[in-house]
Chain A
Amino acid sequence: MKIVVLAKQTFDTEAKITLDSQEKINREGVNLIMNPYDEFAVEEALRVKEKHGGKVTVVSLGEAKAQDILRQALAMGADKAVHIVVDELEETDEYTTATILAKALSGIEYDLILAGWRAIDDGSAQVAGRVAEILGLPMVNMVIKLEVETGKAVASREIEGGYEVLEVPLPAVVTAQKGLNEPRYPTMKGIMQAKKKPMQKLTLADLSLATQEVAPKVRARKYFLPTPRVQGKIITGEPAEAAATLVRLLREEAKVI
């Protein structure tokens, strides 16, 4: 079973977001991590491999630093990493990202492509779907249980108010939702071995993609920070009295009941 995982480096979940002098998101001094949903995807790929044999290739598009998450995936047990290095692209959108990833994938063999269902930075939840569309593959989104058999996958995916079980032929694209598994931590041995595993670096030129082919369809015009919430009233008094006051304020002052 040849499995490809798409993974992205994102800001740490604790990161405080500020704007820089150009009114763009300030990237200075922010801790970077593997997108949490992509960790589930890497873990699932390793589990499928452990059961069926095969190879796991992790692919990431990003700046030079993105190699850290590829190393992490290799240390977890992936076999190979492909890093599409793209510092030069100043504006991207999901169309851009998907076009580049799909092009890189066209040079790789796969039976299954796994990805996180969304990245926690832009929350866009569309790159995997676009990649599936470009490659002509069926997709199952937000999967919480996956079983791979010869030529097909049976996946349970989260829907509002429950879940549904779908069957799709392979190759297919599957995105991971929390609940799919518990990602393992890299072991010391894994980290040592990762250093010897192949990490391929590619540029847009290597993929023969011209800048205009990856021009974004949507452009960011302005970034801003939300107005911070301010602390409201602390209601004091005996519990019964406080509860009564709160209910009254929610009706009369906040008008939400």
Chain B
Amino acid sequence: MAGGIWVYAENQNGKFKKVTFEMLGAGRQLADQLGEELCAVVIGHGVGELAATLGEYGADKVYVVDSPELARYTTDGYMLALSKLAREHQPAVIFLGYTVQGRDLAAHVAQRLGTGLCTDCTGVNIEDGQIVFTRPIYAGKAFVEAVFAEARPVMATIRPNALPAAEFQPGRKAQVIESSATFGAGDIRQVVREIVCQASGRPELTEADIIVSGGRGMKSAENFKILEELADVLGAAVGASRAAVDAGYVPHSMQVGQTGKTVSPQLYIACGISGAIQHLAGMSSSKVIVAINKDPEANIFKVADYGIVGDLFEIVPLLTQEFKKLLGKK
């Protein structure tokens, strides 16, 4: 048996990113088919307690690299920790999330290990004995299936919300292996001076199940309040088109699209968004799309599963009321 199928379990403030459980789901299937162990890797400081959860989501083994120098994410620190562990244990596959941290780390580790990397994958399968990755290119306007030549480990980053999460098995235990990391002077060259959280209390766009999004039709920053009210009833994230960002209604971190975030929620509610190709590029893999637009000819209606032609300032508050009724909220 080789060194296993590895999942990099990204944690932030003591919680794993949702994509971690999605990777464990895909990893479990691969591990079973290839006769490998499913291993999770946790890096950080004071993160040992988190390991138990990973067993409950299917990991057979959990490697924990704990060190004060790893209390905060730095490219160098985490890259050194993960590549060292990989050199020692020779995994067959390493998965990371296509998150801000995961893709930064993955590129560096892949180069360190002299291997390839498939980014932003939405599918992982075994065909003819090979692992085949499916990933969107041209912002989802096409897809490519890719395979690795001889290079090992096989590395891929997985798009959040694209794969089903592993089943939760309470009490299931993984073997926990503590690993150390020591750093010399100059090993970690990025010094974190400050971390600024602009937390809204709402889910992260890329992992949200529901997104309420506004475009130029919102007309002002204040008007986004009506979307926030709807979002709060639904436990949704709030997104925006580039026109809304460029008009200064909301920050760029909320932009969905080709030059913004790629999202794949269960439900995407587009309000006052025309549906330009660059916007569709970022959200067309949503399971269900709802469009509210006063222009019946708007492009967004061509991709929407449900549409209401009308004034969003009238419709959105009504929707908020209806959802409150349905979900029994006051």
Q: Whole-angstrom distance from the CB of B193 to the nearest CB of chain A?
A: 4
Determine the chain A residues whose CB is within 8 A of the CB of B111 once the complex forms: 95, 98, 129-130, 133-134
Interface size grouping (class) on chain A: 35 or more
Scoring B117, B266, B326 by chain A CB atoms within 10 A of each residue's CB, the highest score goes to B117
Complex contact B107–A130 (CB within 8 A):
yes
Complex contact A235–B252 (CB within 8 A):
no
Known: A133-B111, A256-B266. A14 touches B277 (CB 8 A): yes
Q: Whole-angstrom distance from the CB of A33 to the nearest CB of chain B?
A: 12
Q: Whole-angstrom distance from the CB of A180 to the nearest CB of chain B?
A: 10
Determine the chain A residues whose CB is within 8 A of the CB of B258 once the complex forms: 13, 120
Complex contact A165–B142 (CB within 8 A):
no
Complex contact B189–A216 (CB within 8 A):
no
A residues 175-223 in Cβ contact with B at 8 Å: 177-179, 215-223
Residue of A nearest to B204 (CB): A160
Q: Which of A138, A139, A218, A247 contacts B146 (CB 8 A)?
A: A218
B residues 134-174 in Cβ contact with A at 8 Å: 136-149, 151
Q: Is A17 an interface residue (CB 8 A)?
A: yes
Q: How far is the CA of A133 from the CA of B107 in the complex (A)?
A: 9
Q: How far is the CA of A94 from the CA of B195 in the complex (A)?
A: 30
Complex contact A218–B147 (CB within 8 A):
yes
Complex contact A166–B12 (CB within 8 A):
no
Determine the chain A residues whose CB is within 8 A of the CB of B307 once the complex forms: 231-235
Q: Which of B117, B267, B287 contacts A94 (CB 8 A)?
A: B117
Q: Is B240 an interface residue (CB 8 A)?
A: no
Determine the chain B residues whose CB is within 8 A of the CB of A250 once the complex forms: 267, 288, 290, 306
A residues 72-118 in Cβ contact with B at 8 Å: 93-95, 98
Residue of A nearest to B98 (CB): A125
B-facing mask of A242-257, CB < 8 A → 1, else 0? 1110110111001011
Q: Is B67 an interface residue (CB 8 A)?
A: no
Q: How far is the CA of A169 from the CA of B76 in the complex (A)?
A: 13
A-facing mask of B280-298, CB < 8 A → 1, else 0? 0100110111100000100
B residues 79-132 in Cβ contact with A at 8 Å: 79, 99-101, 103-104, 106-108, 110-112, 115-120, 132
Complex contact B319–A247 (CB within 8 A):
yes
Q: Whole-angstrom distance from the CB of B299 to the nearest CB of chain A?
A: 10
Complex contact A254–B305 (CB within 8 A):
yes
Determine the chain B residues whose CB is within 8 A of the CB of A4 once the complex forms: none
Q: Whole-angstrom distance from the CB of B62 to the nearest CB of chain A?
A: 23
Q: Is B11 an interface residue (CB 8 A)?
A: no
Complex contact A247–B190 (CB within 8 A):
no
Complex contact A217–B108 (CB within 8 A):
no
Contacting chain A: which of B25-33, B50-58, B217-225, B308-316? B308-316
Q: How far is the CA of A144 from the CA of B267 in the complex (A)?
A: 30
Q: How far is the CA of A215 from the CA of B299 in the complex (A)?
A: 42
Q: Is B304 an interface residue (CB 8 A)?
A: yes
Q: Which of A132, A218, A221, A254 contacts B288 (CB 8 A)?
A: A254
Residue of A nearest to B138 (CB): A17
Q: Is A68 an interface residue (CB 8 A)?
A: no
Complex contact A164–B194 (CB within 8 A):
yes
Q: Is A162 an interface residue (CB 8 A)?
A: yes
Q: Whole-angstrom distance from the CB of B302 to the nearest CB of chain A?
A: 5
Determine the chain A residues whose CB is within 8 A of the CB of B76 once the complex forms: 138
Determine the chain B residues whose CB is within 8 A of the CB of A243 once the complex forms: 308, 315, 318-319, 321-322
Q: How far is the CA of A243 from the CA of B318 in the complex (A)?
A: 6
B-facing mask of A130-174, CB < 8 A → 1, else 0? 101110001111101000000000100011111111111100100
Q: How far is the CA of A142 from the CA of B260 in the complex (A)?
A: 12
Determine the chain B residues whose CB is within 8 A of the CB of A123 once the complex forms: 119-120, 136-137, 139, 262
Q: Which of A94, A138, A239, A246 contacts B189 (CB 8 A)?
A: A138
Complex contact A244–B322 (CB within 8 A):
yes
Q: Is B191 an interface residue (CB 8 A)?
A: yes
Residue of A nearest to B252 (CB): A179
Given A125-B103, A168-B190, A221-B132, 20 more pairs with CB closer than 8 A: A94-B116, A120-B258, A123-B119, A130-B111, A141-B100, A160-B99, A165-B196, A168-B189, A169-B189, A178-B260, A216-B116, A219-B146, A226-B140, A229-B303, A236-B309, A239-B311, A244-B318, A246-B290, A247-B322, A250-B267
A-B residue pairs in contact (CB < 8 Å), sample of 25:
A15-B141, A17-B141, A95-B110, A95-B116, A125-B120, A161-B197, A161-B198, A161-B204, A162-B199, A164-B196, A166-B190, A166-B192, A179-B251, A218-B147, A219-B146, A221-B145, A221-B147, A224-B142, A226-B284, A231-B302, A231-B303, A231-B304, A234-B309, A246-B290, A250-B267
User: B-side interface residues toward A, CB under 8 Å?
Assistant: 12, 74-76, 79, 99-101, 103-104, 106-108, 110-112, 115-120, 132, 136-149, 151, 189-200, 204, 206, 210, 234, 251-253, 255, 258-260, 262, 266-267, 277-278, 281, 284-285, 287-290, 296, 301-311, 314-315, 318-319, 321-323, 326-327
